[in-house]
A = this chain, B = another copy of it.
Amino acid sequence: MNINSSNIMALAPNTSNKRETVCIFGTGDFGRALGHKMIQSGYPVVYGSRSTQISNLIPKEAEVLSHAEAAQKAAVIIIAIQRQHYNFLTPLAEILHGKVVVDISNNLKLNQYPESNAEYLAQLLPGAKVVKAFNTVSAWALQSGALDASRQVFVCGDDVEAKQMVMNIVRALGLTPLDQGSLLAAQGIENYPLQLFPMWKFPFFLSLGLTAFFFFYCLALDVIYTYIYERNNFSFFIAFTIPNRICPVMALILLALVYLPGVLAAIIQLYRGTKYRRFPDWLDKWMLCRKQLGLIALAFASLHAVFTLASPMRSFVRWRTSKGIISQALNNKTEPLDTTNAWISDSYLALGILGFFFFVLVGITSLPSVSNSVNWREFRFVQSKLGYLTLILCTAHTLLYGGKWFLSPSAYRWYLPNIYMLSLVVPCTVLVVKFVLIFPCIDKPLTQIRQGWERNPKYSE
């Protein structure tokens, strides 16, 4: 809940007028919203506009002048105009000489122009100190005060003092400036608001591909096979049974893929005998998207949990249960309790529940505010130790689910293994290799390498 959201903000000119005047070129949505917010924060605001006829949407406390007049009144000029109209600024180059000119523009596409808007502006106004800022904030967020979205404002520019001035304004508006370096960073900053989860792209498409593969695999084995050989129409498996088979399989595989790159990196470091060489590019990229892989795995695990808990309500399951009970009743016999079976069923469920519990715990610590409040050692403990515990529990859960079916020929329809068997390949590999890596005779040199020791020193200081 933000204090502004309840409209208690005093919209009043600053009585002591110590804050320097800010000029805004352009009276469009964003220019107006920014002006409002600045006046609230005690800045006198002057608008530079083609016509000085005042729209009733412009804050009353602001002056509206011609561009040239307005620019002369302020040290900081904010250009709230689209890039295609920048050339109108060329005649003003002299007035803007030495002033701080803030480019707040955004593009419609990634890398729309060869150079960033801010760099283009700096070319048009060689004497001005161009700073890129504010492009990640929306007019709506500024207006409503309901800053639900990000408060981060990326700032870059070649002149350190000009940047500092802009960052002070950003702070005064209740936003968080992040210095991104020289104006070369402007391209990146302009691309930033156009990005749509760039780090999630690879994990998402990997999951999509695997899900599609497992769906058709299950469709063949569970629906088509049954239809051909047993004449049973189990097409409704598509709605519930198959999703609930795919989800745990995906969760386990993706979780194992989170820990596989770490194991591979250790092997590479051991083989090379040094940590001072870059990993292959694919491994670096893989390591950077581990968090996303893990969160998608958690999503699949959650779906699996809810699907499983909901299954007793399915009409098919209820039908199967009552069929079993009725056939026992009609045969006048009650099966005795099979203790082994009870053990397997109970441990299988308990392992799954515990695995899911630790998975959720690891997931919660990856929330930005939680990971911000733990130190590095604590973060590593949760993400690595608890993560491996989760992997062990989930793998054991799947192994117990399989139970004795691994050796039963009837589990291999069309000589193909069931998908839960496929899902065990990666996690078992990771766990076995990790188990080997923690043997002292291997762990010791690895720790030394990670502390900077080299087998064949070449790159040392």
Contact = CB atoms under 8 A, between A and B. Distances in A.
Q: Which of A188, A239, A374 has the most CB of B within 10 A?
A: A239
Contact of A239 (B150, B197, B347): B347
Nearest to A192: B3
B197 A1 contact: yes
A407 interface: no
**How many monomers of this protein are in the complex?**
3
B327 A330 contact: no
B305 A150 contact: no
Contact of A343 (B159, B172, B188, B236): B236
A9 B185 contact: yes
Nearest to A167: B171
Nearest to A173: B179
A179 B175 CA distance: 10
A214 interface: no
Interface string A188-215: 1101111111110000000000000000
A370 to B, nearest CB: 7
A17 B155 CA distance: 17
A230 interface: no
Interface string A306-326: 111111111110110111111
B315 A342 contact: yes
Interface string A2-33: 11011011111111101100000001110000
Contacts of A179: 41-42, 171-174
Contacts of A416: none
A448 interface: no
B41 A313 contact: no
Contacts of A10: 156, 180-188
A255 to B, nearest CB: 17
Interface in A222-245: 233, 235-236, 239-241, 243
Interface stretch (A96-104, A331-339, A390-398, A417-425): A331-339
The 4 closest A-B pairs by CB, nearest first: A8-B188, A10-B184, A369-B369, A315-B345
Interface of A: 1-3, 5-6, 8-16, 18-19, 27-29, 40-42, 49-51, 53, 55-57, 136-138, 141, 144, 146, 148-152, 154, 156, 158-161, 171-174, 178-189, 191-199, 233, 235-236, 239-241, 243, 276, 287-288, 291, 299, 302-303, 305-316, 318-319, 321-330, 332, 334-335, 337-339, 341-347, 349-350, 352-354, 356-357, 360-361, 366-379, 381, 452, 459-461
9 contacts: A3-B154, A10-B181, A19-B160, A148-B371, A150-B375, A306-B309, A311-B313, A322-B325, A326-B328
